[in-house]
A and B are shown apart, each in its own frame.
Chain A
Amino acid sequence: MKVGTRMARRGSNTLFFAGLLGLSLPVLFLIFFPLGRLVTAPTFEDLVHAIREADVQAALLRSLLTALGAALVSLVFGTPLAYLLSRRDFPGKKLVEGLIDLPIMIPHPVIGIAILGLATRDTVFGRILEWMGIQVMGTYAGIVAVLTFVGLPFFLNTAKAAFESVPERLEHVSMGLGAGSLSTFFRVTLPLSWRGIVLGMVMCTARAISEFGAVIVVAYHPMLAPVLIYERFTAYGLKYSQPVAVWLIVISVILFVAMRFLSRPVRQW
C-alpha cells in the first residue's frame, strides 16, 4: 500500500472516532455534570451537619437495610426461579419471562398501588396477611415488598444469566458420578455461578435503594432516604436536600464497590 493511501485511511479512521466521541459527549455530560454538580454543591460543613442529624441517619439506614432486605428476599425466592428458567423449557415460559420484566416498564406509583390493592381485606391474600398479623401500609414489610417488586427483575435476569453460563454438561457429569440434583446444585452450579448471583443482588439493591415512586404510596413513614430528600426539597428547597442526596450517593457507591469487590473473579483455576 502506498504511503499516501495509508495516511489517508488513518486520517479517515481518526475522523470517524472523533465523530463518535463528539456524539458521546452529550450523554457523558448528562450523566456526570448533574451528579458532579450535586456532589460538589454542599460544603464539607453542610455534609457533616447533615449526617449528624438523627432523621438523616435513620432514613439512610432504613434505605440501606430495606434495600438489602429486598435483595435477600430476591435471593431466597428468586434463585430457584432463575435456575428453573435457565434449565427448563415449559409451556408459558416466555410469558413468565415477560411478566418478570413487567416491573421495569410500569410506572412505579402503580406498583405501590397494586401492592396496596392486593393487601386489602377484600382479597384472600390480604385476609391471609391480616391473619398472620402482617400489615403492608406504612410498615417495613410493605416497603420491602415494593422494593422487592422493583428490584426482582434485575436479580432474576442477572442470576439466570449466571446459571446459563455454567455448562449443563458439568451438572450431567455430576449426576453421572452419583450426585443428586440438590447436591449437584450446591457442589457444582452454585460455586460456578455465585459471583453472578452476588452481582444480581447488587443490581437489585441498586434499584431498590433508589426507589421513590412505589415507596411513597406504600409508606411515607417510616421514611426512607429518597422520601426524606423529596420532603426536604419540597419544604426547604434544593440546598437543604442536597447534602442528604450526597450521603445517599456515597453509601450506594460504598455498598456497590464492596459487593463488586466480594464478587470479583479471583480465579484459582
Chain B
Amino acid sequence: MLKIEGLTVEVPGFVLRDVNLEIAKGEFFAIMGPTGSGKSLLVEAITGLLPSNMLDFEGSIWRNGKEITHLPPNRRNIGILYQDVALFPHMTVEQNISYGLRYCKGNGANAQKRFQFFVKRFDLGHILHRYPARISGGERQRVALARVLVLDPDVVLLDEPISGLDPLFQGDIRRLLRQLHSELGITFVMVSHDFEEVMYLAQKGAVIHQGQVVQQAQIDEIFNRPASTFVARFVGAKNVFKVRFENGLAYIGSTSVRIADACLVPDFDHIVIRPEKIVPVLDMPDIRTGLENMFWGKVLEMSYCNFSVHLKIQKDETIFRAVWPEIYVRKMGLHVGKKVGFAFNKADVSTFREAK
C-alpha cells in the first residue's frame, strides 16, 4: 500500500537517513520518536510538502505500486490530519468538509453520498453552518477527520491526532479512530509519542531516532522487546542493563538474572525489563508462582503518580525501577530505606545487542 524505499532527505541542520517502511493496506501504523527525531519531516516527505529548493532528496515513495515521489501533494491521494486540526477559519463546517470534493475525480453523486455518510457518522448535522471557532475541540477534530475521509484517500496520515486535545475528548476520538479503522479498513499512519495512544490504536510501528528508523516491528514487540537502549528508554522500559552472559545466566555485576530461551538474541550484551513487569513479593504464594527471578533490595526512592507508585529499588550495586499499585505499597507499609522483595518472570526479560 505505502512503501518508502531508501528515503534520505537533507534539510539545513538535519538529515533523515535511509528510511525504509512498508505499510500494508488497512494497517494502523505508528511512527514514534522524540521531538526533533524527524517524524514531521518524514510526514512532509510522504505528503509531498517539502519545499524542493531546500533539500537533498533521495529514495522513492510508492502508493499502491505507483511511484508518487515526485507528485505534488494534491495528486498523491494521501490525507493528513494535523494535531491542531487546521480547519479553515473563514469557512463553515459544511464548507470545510466539502472543500476537497471539487477536486475529486468521479461522479458528484458518490461524493455527496460520502459527505452525507460522514456527517451522519460523526454526528455533525447540527453544526454544519457554524464556523470552527464556534464548535468544541472534539467537534473540530471530527470535522477535520470528515474533511479528509470524505475524499476517500488511500492513506490517512495522523500527525499527533489526540495529544493536543482536551483530555475530555481524547477518549472519544481514540475510540472513533479505532472504530473507523475496523469498520472501513482505512490505512492509517499515525505520528505519535503517546504510548497509550499507540498501544490502543496501532498494530505495527517504527521508532525514529536522529533521522533513522531504529526499530520497525509489531507494537507489542517494540514495547516488550526493544532493540536498543534508546528504544527501551523511549518506550518506558526503564530497566536497561549491560550484562555478561555466562552458564545460561545474565550477570548485572554480581546479580544473576534468568532469561527464557525464546528471549535470547545472539551475542546480546543488554537486557531490558519493563518496570510494570516487576512485582512486589507479597505474602501470597500464588503471586510468587512462576517468577523465576526473585530478589531482595532496599527502597531508594518512591514517587506517587495516578494511583501508582514509581519505585527505585537497590539490589547490591544495581538499581531496579518498578511501578506498583498504591494499594500494594500501603499494604506492605513501604517507605524509603525499607527492605523489600521483588520478582519478575524470565519470559519478561528481553535482550539486545547494542549497535556500535
Chain A residues with CB under 8 Å of chain B are 88-90, 167, 169-170, 172-180, 183, 187-188, 191-192, 268-269
Alpha-carbon separation in the docked complex, A174 to B82 (Å): 12
Task: Please name 15 pairs of A and B residues whose Cβ atoms are closer than 8 Å in the assembled complex, sorted by A.
Answer: A169-B82, A169-B86, A173-B88, A175-B49, A175-B72, A176-B73, A176-B80, A177-B74, A177-B103, A177-B148, A179-B74, A180-B72, A191-B90, A192-B89, A269-B132
A269 touches B54 (CB 8 A): no
Alpha-carbon separation in the docked complex, A167 to B86 (Å): 9
A170 touches B88 (CB 8 A): yes
Residues of B within 8 A of A177 (CB): 74, 79, 99-100, 103, 147-148, 151
B131 touches A178 (CB 8 A): no
Residues of A within 8 A of B48 (CB): 175
Alpha-carbon separation in the docked complex, A178 to B78 (Å): 9
- Name the residue of chain A whose CB is nearest to the CB of B49: A172
Alpha-carbon separation in the docked complex, A268 to B147 (Å): 21
For residue B121, CB closer than 8 A to chain A, the reply is no
- In the assembled complex, the CB of B111 is this many whole angstroms from the nearest CB of chain A, namely 11
Alpha-carbon separation in the docked complex, A178 to B147 (Å): 11
Residues of B within 8 A of A173 (CB): 80, 82, 86, 88
- In the assembled complex, the CB of A6 is this many whole angstroms from the nearest CB of chain B, namely 40
Alpha-carbon separation in the docked complex, A172 to B73 (Å): 8
Residues of B within 8 A of A191 (CB): 90
Per-residue contact bits, chain B 156-195, to A (CB 8 Å; 1 contact, 0 not): 0000000000000000000000000000000000000000
Knowing A88-B51, A167-B86, A180-B74, the reply to whether A269 touches B133 (Cβ < 8 A) is yes
For residue B104, CB closer than 8 A to chain A, the reply is yes
B73 touches A89 (CB 8 A): no
Chain B residues with CB under 8 Å of chain A are 47-49, 51, 53-54, 72-74, 78-80, 82, 84, 86, 88-90, 99-100, 103-104, 131-134, 147-148, 151
Knowing A167-B86, A169-B84, the reply to whether A176 touches B133 (Cβ < 8 A) is no
A175 touches B74 (CB 8 A): yes
Alpha-carbon separation in the docked complex, A213 to B300 (Å): 81
> When the two chains form the complex, which single residue of B53, B84, B100, B134 contacts A88, counting CB atoms closer than 8 Å?
B53
- In the assembled complex, the CB of B328 is this many whole angstroms from the nearest CB of chain A, namely 46
A176 touches B79 (CB 8 A): yes
B89 touches A176 (CB 8 A): no
> When the two chains form the complex, which single residue of A89, A178, A192 contacts B74, counting CB atoms closer than 8 Å?
A178
Alpha-carbon separation in the docked complex, A177 to B47 (Å): 11
Residues of B within 8 A of A179 (CB): 74, 99-100, 103
- Name the residue of chain B whose CB is nearest to the CB of A91: B53
Max chain A C-beta neighbours (<10 A), residue from B79, B89, B133 = B89
Knowing A172-B47, A269-B132, the reply to whether A178 touches B53 (Cβ < 8 A) is no
Alpha-carbon separation in the docked complex, A187 to B54 (Å): 26
10 shortest interchain CB distances as A-B pairs: A178-B103, A177-B100, A269-B131, A175-B73, A178-B100, A176-B80, A269-B133, A173-B86, A169-B86, A269-B89
Residues of A within 8 A of B53 (CB): 88-90
Residues of B within 8 A of A269 (CB): 89-90, 131-134
- In the assembled complex, the CB of A86 is this many whole angstroms from the nearest CB of chain B, namely 13
Alpha-carbon separation in the docked complex, A268 to B95 (Å): 14
Alpha-carbon separation in the docked complex, A178 to B151 (Å): 9
Alpha-carbon separation in the docked complex, A172 to B82 (Å): 10
Max chain A C-beta neighbours (<10 A), residue from B49, B51, B78 = B49
Residues of A within 8 A of B131 (CB): 268-269
- In the assembled complex, the CB of A264 is this many whole angstroms from the nearest CB of chain B, namely 15
> When the two chains form the complex, which single residue of A90, A176, A188 contacts B88, counting CB atoms closer than 8 Å?
A188
Residues of A within 8 A of B72 (CB): 175, 180
A89 touches B104 (CB 8 A): no
Residues of A within 8 A of B82 (CB): 169, 173
- In the assembled complex, the CB of A119 is this many whole angstroms from the nearest CB of chain B, namely 35
Alpha-carbon separation in the docked complex, A35 to B243 (Å): 85
A176 touches B47 (CB 8 A): yes
- In the assembled complex, the CB of A183 is this many whole angstroms from the nearest CB of chain B, namely 8
Alpha-carbon separation in the docked complex, A177 to B89 (Å): 16
Alpha-carbon separation in the docked complex, A84 to B134 (Å): 33
Residues of A within 8 A of B90 (CB): 191-192, 268-269
Max chain B C-beta neighbours (<10 A), residue from A90, A169, A176 = A176
Alpha-carbon separation in the docked complex, A176 to B84 (Å): 15
Alpha-carbon separation in the docked complex, A90 to B51 (Å): 11
Alpha-carbon separation in the docked complex, A262 to B49 (Å): 35
Max chain A C-beta neighbours (<10 A), residue from B73, B80, B86, B131 = B73
Supply 9 further A-B pairs (C-beta < 8 A) apart from A88-B51, A268-B131.
A89-B53, A169-B86, A175-B48, A175-B49, A175-B72, A177-B79, A177-B103, A178-B104, A192-B90
Max chain A C-beta neighbours (<10 A), residue from B84, B100, B133, B134 = B100
- In the assembled complex, the CB of B76 is this many whole angstroms from the nearest CB of chain A, namely 8
Residues of B within 8 A of A174 (CB): 88, 99
Alpha-carbon separation in the docked complex, A173 to B100 (Å): 10
- Name the residue of chain A whose CB is nearest to the CB of B84: A169
- Name the residue of chain B whose CB is nearest to the CB of A183: B103
Residues of B within 8 A of A88 (CB): 51, 53
Residues of B within 8 A of A167 (CB): 86
Alpha-carbon separation in the docked complex, A268 to B54 (Å): 38
Alpha-carbon separation in the docked complex, A188 to B100 (Å): 12
Residues of B within 8 A of A183 (CB): 103
Residues of A within 8 A of B51 (CB): 88
Alpha-carbon separation in the docked complex, A177 to B144 (Å): 11
